[in-house]
Copies of this chain bind each other. A is one copy, B any other.
Amino acid sequence: MSIALFIQHRFSERWKDHLSQLLPTTKIEIYPEIEKPDEVSYAISWKHDLGVFNQFKNLKVIASLGAGVHHILKDESIPESIQITRIVDEQLQKDMASFVLTQCLNVNRNIFQYLRQQEQKEWKLNTYKTPEETKVGILGMGVLGKSAGELLHQNGFQVMGWSRSKKQIDYIETYEASALNQFLSKTDILVCLLPITKATIGLVNCKMFNQLPKNSSFINVARGELVEDADLLKALNNNRLKWAVLDVFKEEPLSKNHLYWSHPKVIITPHSASLTNPKTASKQLAANYLRLTEEKELHNLVDRERGY
């Protein structure tokens, strides 16, 4: 039995080192350098190439490197018999909330504007609103939306939350599905933290943007598939939106040709809002591998029907 890593753009060598320390006698390889494919029983994946697992006849488990498993579930070539696990780590929520706070503060305090001005050597003061005067509207009131909302509230922002079914959350003004337009009309900064489902793909489109006040901003830290890119570009170009702060994209890495890269009102980060911590996550991955060798039930198993 051996472990193989299928990790794109996420420091494969570092993960291998961490796992090797915890499992010193186990063979751990990085795809595509796999000596004996038939020995691989445990795959660790972050955005693997679809279909790649067909080469591994004795694969028992695919472990996601993060909390999300969309990148695994969308690979229809994976047999039902293979177990899928994910990382459950409270730090992921904390990092996400902290990233959302960072970008809301940047929008509020004109930091992106000043960086653009610096390119032109332009010294020009812009007024700002305090967090107390700023309404952040969060799309999606799941675990991530709620914890981001709470951190924003602690830092003085007015926080509103929209979700399919209305939720009762302290300090957050919640709106249910049918009250979407009312929610959007009050939003200065729209933060997307929706889950990805059939109902949410492409949901953030011109219909939404047109309900926002002029010069509002949009932050996407969920998934690129939630947004209609052409509509977003239109909303930026007609000044509906002041900034689009994007951490996620339909295609990652974002293609060099994409209009986002050089759009003056788009701020790009490379899916970095919340990164699995190799130290703590390696412990979960190694423990589950040992449970597999001992034929015990795995931790943090994913229910494919439910999607997490």
Residues of A that sit less than 8 Å from B by CB: 9-11, 91, 94-95, 98-99, 101-103, 105-106, 109-111, 114-115, 117-118, 121, 123-128, 130-131, 154-156, 252-254, 256, 261-262, 267-272, 275
* Residues on the B chain within 8 Å of A252, using CB: 123
The complex places the Cα of A253 from the Cα of B117 at a distance, in Å, of 13
Contact with A109, one of B102, B155, B271 (Cβ below 8 angstroms): B102
* Residues on the B chain within 8 Å of A253, using CB: 123
5 smallest beta-carbon distances between A and B, as pairs:
A123-B253, A102-B105, A121-B261, A114-B269, A118-B268
Q: Are A256 and B121 in contact (CB under 8 A)?
A: yes
* Residues on the B chain within 8 Å of A95, using CB: 128, 130
* Residues on the B chain within 8 Å of A103, using CB: 111
Q: Are A115 and B272 in contact (CB under 8 A)?
A: no
* Residues on the B chain within 8 Å of A131, using CB: 98
Q: Are A272 and B118 in contact (CB under 8 A)?
A: no
Residue of B nearest to A266 (CB): B118
* Residues on the B chain within 8 Å of A271, using CB: 125
Q: Are A106 and B102 in contact (CB under 8 A)?
A: yes
The 18 listed contacts between A and B (C-beta, < 8 Å) are A94-B156, A98-B155, A99-B109, A102-B106, A106-B106, A106-B111, A114-B268, A114-B270, A118-B261, A118-B267, A121-B262, A123-B253, A123-B254, A123-B270, A125-B271, A125-B272, A126-B272, A127-B275
Shortest A287–chain B CB gap in Å is: 22
Residue of B nearest to A14 (CB): B127
The complex places the Cα of A11 from the Cα of B110 at a distance, in Å, of 16
* Residues on the B chain within 8 Å of A275, using CB: 125, 127-128
Shortest A154–chain B CB gap in Å is: 7
Shortest A53–chain B CB gap in Å is: 24
Q: Are A272 and B105 in contact (CB under 8 A)?
A: no
Contact with A9, one of B10, B115, B125, B272 (Cβ below 8 angstroms): B125
The complex places the Cα of A114 from the Cα of B275 at a distance, in Å, of 15
Contact with A110, one of B9, B268, B272 (Cβ below 8 angstroms): B272
The complex places the Cα of A142 from the Cα of B117 at a distance, in Å, of 31
* Residues on the B chain within 8 Å of A106, using CB: 102, 106, 111
Q: Are A130 and B91 in contact (CB under 8 A)?
A: yes
Contact with A125, one of B11, B114, B125 (Cβ below 8 angstroms): B11
* Residues on the B chain within 8 Å of A256, using CB: 121
